[in-house]
A and B are shown apart, each in its own frame.
Chain A
Amino acid sequence: MKAMLWKELRENFKWALLAMIGLCLAEIYGLNYYDPLNYNNRGLTLCNPTFLMATSFGCAIVGLLLGFLQILPEQRRDQWAALLHRPVSRDTIFRGKVVAGLGLYLVATVVPFLICVWLAATPGHFLAPFVPSMVLPGVADIGTGMVYYFAALLVALHRSSWFGARTLALFAAVYLSFFVTSASYFSPALAAAVLMALVLFTAAWGAMRSNGPFHVRPWLAKVALLAAVFYGLCGLGQVAHMLLKSNQQEDYTGSQYRITSDGQPVITTVNKDLTSKVTDLAGNIINDERYTGPRSYENFLFLNEVCYLIGDSHGYDPVSLYYQYRQSERHVAEVQINSFIPLPVSWFYLQEKKYFVGISRLNKQPVGIADTAGFKPAQAPEPFANLDGFAETYGTPCLVRNGDTVLAFDFEHEQMFQLPSVDEGKVYGAQLISFRNKDSSGYDQVIALAFAHELRIYDPKGNPLATLSYHHDDTDHYGTIELGVLGNQAGYLVEYEPSAWIGWGERNRMTSYLEEVDARGNVLHSYDLPPLPFEMTPRSWIDYIFDSTRSPALWFGNLAYQKVGGQMGDKNLADKDEAAFHEGWENTKEIATRLILYSLFFAVIALVWSRRMNFSWGRAWAWAGFVLAFNLAGLITFRLVADWPVRVRCPQCSQKRPVEEERCPHCGAGWPAPASRGTEILDKKEEVAAV
């Protein structure tokens, strides 16, 4: 073992060093890369999208290269045999290579990453704070790269044609990459990476053990190889799906409700040719240049969401929609202030620690914090009791929920005030609402707080302006309250929308309600906004194929998981289970039937095919069962992984028979001895004289 380690390390160290340097340069470049025009993806330091591109692609490439370099150059046929011809098991040789390879991989990927972490964590380098959770995306990428290492080992060791199980192993790693980059939380991403690494490692081990055939591998390695090829097909399918969909034109004819600056609700419809028409709620066309011409957005009112649910959350998880672990905002949210002159201090909200930290633009050192006690020097922070985690960091003042009060932070003047001043009940949401001032052409703000039964409006200094009671009782289902301000604060528009925890299907069937209220809360007008007909893009053949080829094992398994989870108390799963079996029952039934039918069809194909190829009944049924559970992907996996017999014509009965069998399955004949040419020279060994 030690000798193999020494050899592998010495042999590949120079590549690991090169990779390390390359990664270091790419990552530092990514850290420093800042695109001020990209408002959507303002990543900070270790969560910078360019940096993460360097880590995700870089670690994957390093893993792939190291895996290939450890096997391929040594695989000139007889050199590989020379390596294996040792009085140690192939397992030992494999272990030696893997330990060395992983060690080199970690050196090549962790060292540059640690350098970057040090750079980000040490104040003075970047205009951004550092919290430990910012390393998570990079760590997940290092884990993913390890999966690519094992995939490369499997690709190099598995003896089959290139277009088959070998390339699919790479796609299994690609599939994992998709998952890791789109996962909401870090733990499932890391767990998936570890699991996939184990799968590919075990499959590679099996490939090392065997001289090619599948059925001689240890059963664990067989399962792993099946899983690797299956996930490879999933990865390939995902890539294909992406490519096919991006070429498809999305036909979008959508209508939506909008409110004019006079407070009128209208319906705007965008046609395929991007022209739009505006109608009133009754459907009569409104031909007003203000609403259909260019710059029409100036004549519409925008409502801001003050809260997204009141009361029971039903397991709703905002993280999964808005703040994935790879996004900067999940860890640190930058305070954006609409000011023409940038402030000398940039402020950031630390999501986990729950206070603000200010960093000087000049020397990039922290200058102070803002917590429940207000603005103070950077020590002894008193974090907010903001249970659902996120503060609004756009505009000034920034509003943070602190238990039952709301703190407002004016970062321009570094002042803080609190509202409401007395304990008035639980606050479900706080929002800064901008509205166009009718006289001047600027914007004014009000602060809105959502309570259990009413909205309270304050001016930007915290002075109360109005109290608006909810006129709908069912705040459990209508817990999303949106507010708009009519010009010059003549009045307010309050909209009641379905709560955030309600699923998309049911949400599209619920009516919304709009009220125009005056400054004292009296309802002036009340509108019902029934759900607009939403023309779905017709399900194309692409969607049909992808829907029909899902694995029953996974799909039904997911249903079972939802049911059990719901029973055990997880509200989110209970809601999904409910949706699948009640409102979505038709859809569920349709998909279930389709999956069963297609899987049965492919399973029968597998059965017939394997019997034609002279598989034994036991093996044929086993494969058919596998294909039944995994549908088309299972069929392809079966074809690629199972030992496909080579068949030639039987010299006796002229039917095709497998070359590995002594007896022909059709006529029972053996194999004839090679034809004698009459030139054989064979002597009996006993004739040789012994000396």
Chain B
Amino acid sequence: MSEQPGASPVIEIDHLTKYYGTRKIVSDISLKIPRGTIYGFLGRNGMGKTTTIRIFLGFEDPTRGTARVFGLDSRSFPPEARARIGYLPEGHHVYGWMTVKECGQFQASYFPAWNQDIFETVLTHFRLTSKMKAGHLSRGQRAGLCLALTLAPEPELLVLDDPALGLDPVARRSLLQSMLYVTRKADRTIFFSSHLLSDVERVADRIAVLDDGVLQADCTVETFRRQIRHFVLKFDNTPPAAPNFPGLLESFRTDRELALTVVNVTPEIENRLEALAPVSIEPVDLTLEDAFISYVGERGEKTFFMNGKEAK
């Protein structure tokens, strides 16, 4: 998983914009996915994650901007390039009438680098046997089958769109293990979108956060956590309203406390907080999930007063 600075990125998205009709789904996204990273793609539903993936895999055309994979423009992939990309779309679709074995045979006939051992290993991992009918599998088993089909050709780039959707904890764990297994070879890259922040925290090197089609964050998990801070200001009497400054994600006022979540804390912000004259300012560590929810959630102030009064 070492990165050589200057190595060409596996996926390169450059000022990508996509409209559906007059609605802007993806807005001027630029992203470079270096070889060998595990990249998490986060964002609420409907914010453009799946669209972005479909575009750089060549299933949609960009409205403006370009997307390149392995240096090849997504609009004109040579078919052989697809052998190097494993794609696990959302929904874990299979052909219900095929048995597990037939699914494998069908897929194997297309991918020259098919590794039957990997296929069978992943199947065993998810407790699947050859004769099972794909249509009778549970959600988790289907996910395992699709994962096996995607991993067996040993692709250099693995693109997973919400792979843990609908999976039970055991299946989710198996999925994570499989993802880590893939990266045993140094040049393997994984790009996946997910809602499960705890899983993202475990395996992702870097994350990109998409909010309303705009790229809001592109950093390591550590940086993301570091930049989002939570403060609890205690007051003797009713706390004032939080001052409005860029970087304030949300605030919560009670009878004696003002809690703030702030991103990109600067000394100036700290000064403004102190200027409110609280009794104490306590920094609180946030879990990644809480940080994320504050980051992409609703802005603004929430209040909760026990005695029904509200300060002006």
Check A-B contact in the complex, CB < 8 A: yes
Q: How far apart are the CA atoms of A678 and B217 in the complex, in Å?
A: 11
Pick the residue among A79, A681, A685 that contacts B89 (CB under 8 A).
A79
| Residues A82 and B93 in contact, CB atoms below 8 Å apart | yes
Stretch in contact with the other chain, from A2-10, A28-36, A164-172, A463-471: A2-10
CB distance from B299 to the nearest CB of A (A): 9
Scoring B5, B79, B227 by chain A CB atoms within 10 A of each residue's CB, the highest score goes to: B79
Q: Is B82 an interface residue (CB 8 A)?
A: yes
Number of interface residues of B (CB under 8 A): 63
Interface residues of B in 29-75 (CB under 8 A from A): 32, 34, 50, 54, 57-61, 63-64, 75
CB distance from A86 to the nearest CB of B (A): 5
Collect the chain A residues with CB atoms within 8 Å of residue B109's CB: 2-3
| Residues B34 and A87 in contact, CB atoms below 8 Å apart | no
CB distance from A468 to the nearest CB of B (A): 79
Q: How far apart are the CA atoms of A105 and B5 in the complex, in Å?
A: 57
Collect the chain B residues with CB atoms within 8 Å of residue A691's CB: 1-2
Q: Is B80 an interface residue (CB 8 A)?
A: yes
Q: Is B194 an interface residue (CB 8 A)?
A: no
| Residues A646 and B22 in contact, CB atoms below 8 Å apart | yes
Collect the chain B residues with CB atoms within 8 Å of residue A685's CB: 3, 5, 32, 34, 206
CB distance from B245 to the nearest CB of A (A): 8
| Residues A673 and B110 in contact, CB atoms below 8 Å apart | no
**Given the known A-B contacts A3-B109, A662-B64, are A671 and B224 also in contact in the complex, defined by CB atoms under 8 Å?**
no
Collect the chain B residues with CB atoms within 8 Å of residue A80's CB: 59
| Residues B246 and A79 in contact, CB atoms below 8 Å apart | no
Q: Is A338 an interface residue (CB 8 A)?
A: no
| Residues B22 and A681 in contact, CB atoms below 8 Å apart | no
Q: Can you spell out 14 A-B residue pairs with CB atoms less than 8 angstroms apart?
A: A3-B109, A78-B93, A82-B87, A87-B81, A87-B112, A212-B61, A660-B64, A677-B246, A678-B246, A679-B249, A679-B263, A679-B295, A683-B220, A685-B5
Interface contacts beyond A3-B109, A680-B264: sample of 8 additional A-B pairs, CB < 8 Å, sorted by A: A2-B109, A86-B79, A87-B112, A212-B61, A647-B22, A678-B246, A681-B219, A685-B5
**Given the known A-B contacts A679-B263, A691-B2, are A659 and B19 also in contact in the complex, defined by CB atoms under 8 Å?**
yes
Pick the residue among A81, A681, A683 that contacts B59 (CB under 8 A).
A81
| Residues B93 and A79 in contact, CB atoms below 8 Å apart | yes
Name the CB-closest residue of A to B109: A3
CB distance from A628 to the nearest CB of B (A): 30
Q: Is A682 an interface residue (CB 8 A)?
A: yes
Q: How far apart are the CA atoms of A678 and B97 in the complex, in Å?
A: 52
**Given the known A-B contacts A7-B95, A82-B87, A683-B220, are A671 and B28 also in contact in the complex, defined by CB atoms under 8 Å?**
yes
Pick the residue among B80, B110, B206 that contacts A688 (CB under 8 A).
B206
Pick the residue among B54, B214, B218, B223 that contacts A81 (CB under 8 A).
B54
Q: Is A237 an interface residue (CB 8 A)?
A: no
Collect the chain A residues with CB atoms within 8 Å of residue B247's CB: 678-679
Q: How far apart are the CA atoms of A674 and B247 in the complex, in Å?
A: 17
Show the binding face of B for A, using Cβ within 8 Å.
1-5, 17, 19, 21-22, 27-28, 32, 34, 50, 54, 57-61, 63-64, 75, 79-83, 85, 87, 89-91, 93, 95, 97-98, 105-106, 109-112, 161, 205-206, 209, 214, 216-220, 223-224, 227-228, 246-247, 249, 263-264, 295
Q: How far apart are the CA atoms of A682 and B32 in the complex, in Å?
A: 12
Q: How far apart are the CA atoms of A6 and B1 in the complex, in Å?
A: 41
| Residues A11 and B57 in contact, CB atoms below 8 Å apart | no
Q: Is A295 an interface residue (CB 8 A)?
A: no
Collect the chain A residues with CB atoms within 8 Å of residue B85's CB: 85
Interface residues of A in 332-389 (CB under 8 A from B): none
Pick the residue among B1, B3, B227 that contacts A681 (CB under 8 A).
B227
A-B complex: 6 closest residue pairs judged by Cβ atoms:
A678-B246, A78-B89, A87-B83, A3-B109, A79-B93, A681-B217
**Given the known A-B contacts A2-B109, A681-B219, A685-B34, are A674 and B63 also in contact in the complex, defined by CB atoms under 8 Å?**
no
Collect the chain A residues with CB atoms within 8 Å of residue B227's CB: 681
Collect the chain B residues with CB atoms within 8 Å of residue A82's CB: 87, 89, 93
Name the CB-closest residue of A to B224: A681
| Residues B106 and A3 in contact, CB atoms below 8 Å apart | yes
Collect the chain A residues with CB atoms within 8 Å of residue B249's CB: 679
CB distance from B138 to the nearest CB of A (A): 18
| Residues A673 and B89 in contact, CB atoms below 8 Å apart | no
Q: Is A84 an interface residue (CB 8 A)?
A: yes
Show the binding face of A for B, using Cβ within 8 Å.
2-3, 6-7, 10-11, 76, 78-82, 84-89, 92, 211-213, 216, 646-648, 659-660, 662, 671, 673-674, 677-683, 685-686, 688, 690-691
CB distance from B17 to the nearest CB of A (A): 7
Name the CB-closest residue of B to A89: B79
| Residues A86 and B82 in contact, CB atoms below 8 Å apart | yes
Q: How far apart are the CA atoms of A56 and B106 in the complex, in Å?
A: 37
Collect the chain B residues with CB atoms within 8 Å of residue A647's CB: 22
Collect the chain A residues with CB atoms within 8 Å of residue B27's CB: 674
| Residues B89 and A81 in contact, CB atoms below 8 Å apart | yes
CB distance from A142 to the nearest CB of B (A): 28
Q: How far apart are the CA atoms of A60 and B106 in the complex, in Å?
A: 32
Pick the residue among B22, B79, B95 that contacts A11 (CB under 8 A).
B95
Collect the chain A residues with CB atoms within 8 Å of residue B105's CB: 3
| Residues B110 and A88 in contact, CB atoms below 8 Å apart | yes
| Residues B97 and A681 in contact, CB atoms below 8 Å apart | no
Q: How far apart are the CA atoms of A345 and B208 in the complex, in Å?
A: 88
CB distance from B83 to the nearest CB of A (A): 4
Q: How far apart are the CA atoms of A679 and B265 in the complex, in Å?
A: 10
Q: How far apart are the CA atoms of A80 and B59 in the complex, in Å?
A: 9
**Given the known A-B contacts A78-B90, A87-B79, are A680 and B217 also in contact in the complex, defined by CB atoms under 8 Å?**
yes
| Residues A76 and B91 in contact, CB atoms below 8 Å apart | yes
Collect the chain A residues with CB atoms within 8 Å of residue B97's CB: 10-11
Collect the chain A residues with CB atoms within 8 Å of residue B217's CB: 680-682
Pick the residue among A79, A646, A683 that contacts B223 (CB under 8 A).
A683
Q: How far apart are the CA atoms of A7 and B109 in the complex, in Å?
A: 12
Name the CB-closest residue of A to B55: A211
**Given the known A-B contacts A85-B82, A85-B85, A691-B1, are A681 and B61 also in contact in the complex, defined by CB atoms under 8 Å?**
no
Q: How far apart are the CA atoms of A680 and B263 in the complex, in Å?
A: 8
CB distance from B11 to the nearest CB of A (A): 13
Collect the chain B residues with CB atoms within 8 Å of residue A87's CB: 79-83, 110-112
Collect the chain A residues with CB atoms within 8 Å of residue B98's CB: 7
CB distance from A685 to the nearest CB of B (A): 7
Q: How far apart are the CA atoms of A681 and B264 in the complex, in Å?
A: 7
CB distance from A495 to the nearest CB of B (A): 70
Name the CB-closest residue of B to A91: B79
CB distance from A327 to the nearest CB of B (A): 45
**Given the known A-B contacts A3-B106, A688-B3, are A648 and B22 also in contact in the complex, defined by CB atoms under 8 Å?**
yes
Collect the chain B residues with CB atoms within 8 Å of residue A646's CB: 19, 21-22, 63
| Residues B246 and A690 in contact, CB atoms below 8 Å apart | no
Collect the chain A residues with CB atoms within 8 Å of residue B2's CB: 690-691
Pick the residue among A86, A216, A683 that contacts B110 (CB under 8 A).
A86
Collect the chain B residues with CB atoms within 8 Å of residue A659's CB: 17, 19, 22, 63-64
CB distance from B115 to the nearest CB of A (A): 15
Q: How far apart are the CA atoms of A86 and B109 in the complex, in Å?
A: 10
